[in-house]
Amino acid sequence: MRQMARIKDNITDWRKRRLESPHIIVGCFVLLILAGTLLLLLPVATAEGEKTTFLTAFFTSTTSVCVTGLTVVPTFSHWTLFGQIVILLLIQAGGFGMVTMASFILTLLRRRLSLRFMMLMQDNFNLTTFEGLGNFVRRLVRDTFIVEGLGAGLLMIRLVPRFGAKGVWYSVFNSVSSFCNAGLDLFGNDSLTFIRDDAFFLIVTMALIVLGGLGFVFWFDWLNKSREAIKGRKSPLHFFRKLSENTKGILVMTLILIVGGAGLVFLLEHDNPATLGGLSGGQKVLQSFFQSVTWRTAGFFTIPQEGLRSATAVIGLLFMFIGGSPVGMAGGVKTMTVLILLMNALAFVRGRKHAVLHKRLISYDLIVKAAAIVTVSLLVTILGSILLLATNDLPVMHVLYEMFSATGTVGLSQGVTPLLNSVGQVIVILSMFLGRIGPITIVLFFEAGRSKRDAVVVAKGNFTVG
């Protein structure tokens, strides 16, 4: 009787238990990856003469959902049109996230959102209020399709004359992949090297990558303030002042990273015959900017990544680790996360008690959250690198480049992805998954596990750092 009562109590406790938001988000990503794996295992998804194992399908589904771009088989030749459509849908769904997709469907059906689901949406979008969540999601999806459609139309100007009717499909695939920062393409093993002389094509691709990486919160604030400035006939300086401190921070960091990255690539690679050495001056500048942009979690390349000098590759590791901006398509620890930590360090060096950005106080909780994101992401990347080196006989720099690319959901590789053994592929799969959910939910996982012990006051310890 006691045992039966204990079992009954356990069942009651289980029923009372509720999944936290981060658990639901992670579960949605897992289900989407598994669904994609099953679809890619269908015979109709694999090209004639090719063979798809479970691990290959699982790897491809993960890299698509996590909008990474690392591949163990060529996307253009291994998969049929059906398989490529599945991959594109996985990229789009992974870029949006399952919470966004579910929110959009529910709002379209005019279903009332429960308080619990609204809290989940708030966590997913990193918003501070419930107000206008439905409109936010509808606008997010609508604007995404508009930008991707415009991007596809512009890319067709170059791809249709070159590939004929196939150019339409290539343009759609490339536009979605660029905007979602996925880095997957249908052109071959050499990515965009075949068209690197076409400035128009590369500029459109870079614009899509940057727009996707800036984040939805940035877009909406920028567009709203733009309309207000145009209606009120305000000056550009007035417009910039009206932007939120978050938008200003993202804009400044993005410009510094793109321009600074391009400058460093040009400086270090301009005379390297394996990358920029044989190009004209204008082409060197263009390829430098493209390399700087693609490091920010895009995954396309126009110059061989294995040809980069060691110093350039190390800079690439830093850029891939930082990634894009919050609540966007890009991965990495995010620009604002790094900026907040930099401002906190600057405040400490200057002897100031509080960190300030654009005349606004950075809260202690936000600094702790930023530190947790960077610490956990770095630990995952280092651990993955050690495991990959232990299980695969590969050069250290190639492994580091692979792992920073995987956890930053970038998709750039120095040619080692197809050479990985089964254990190595599993390590990269886990790294891509943790990298994708990390900036969104790792800290939320910690918050979900908080207990009443947080309320216990303990004596201050005497520790030493630095």
- pLDDT higher than 50, residue 336: yes
Percent of the chain clearing pLDDT 90 (strictly above): 57
Q: Which of 79-83, 89-93, 116-120, 163-167 has the lowest mean pLDDT?
A: 116-120
Q: Residue 182 burial by CB count (10 A; 0-12/13-18/19+): exposed, middle or buried?
A: buried
Measured in residues, the chain has a length of: 466
The pLDDT tens digits for 2-19 are: 555 554 454 444 344 444
Mean pLDDT on 167-182? 95
pLDDT band at 455 (very low <50, low <70, confident <90, very high): low
| DSSP H/E element including 360 | strand 360-361
Looking at residue 460, its pLDDT comes to 73
The pLDDT tens digits for 431-453 are: 999 888 774 455 455 555 555 55
Instruction: Count CB atoms within 10 A of the CB of residue 226.
Output: 14
pLDDT band at 98 (very low <50, low <70, confident <90, very high): low
- β-pair partners for 46: 79
Distance, CA of 210 to CA of 125 (rounded, Å): 19
Distance, CA of 315 to CA of 361 (rounded, Å): 30
Mean pLDDT on 393-399? 95
Asked if 225 contacts 239 with a C-beta cutoff of 8 angstroms, the reply is: yes
Looking at residue 241, its pLDDT comes to 83
Nearest Cα neighbor of 422 from 382, 391, 394, 393 is 391
Phi, psi of 72 (to 5 degrees): -100, -15
Q: Greatest CA span in the chain, whole angstroms?
A: 85
Looking at residue 74, its pLDDT comes to 93
Token reading at 291: 């390399």
User: Three-state SS for 304?
Assistant: coil
Distance, CA of 88 to CA of 207 (rounded, Å): 20
- pLDDT higher than 90, residue 403: yes
Distance, CA of 455 to CA of 432 (rounded, Å): 36
Q: What is the pTM of this model?
A: 0.87
Distance, CA of 121 to CA of 386 (rounded, Å): 36
Phi, psi of 46 (to 5 degrees): -105, 135
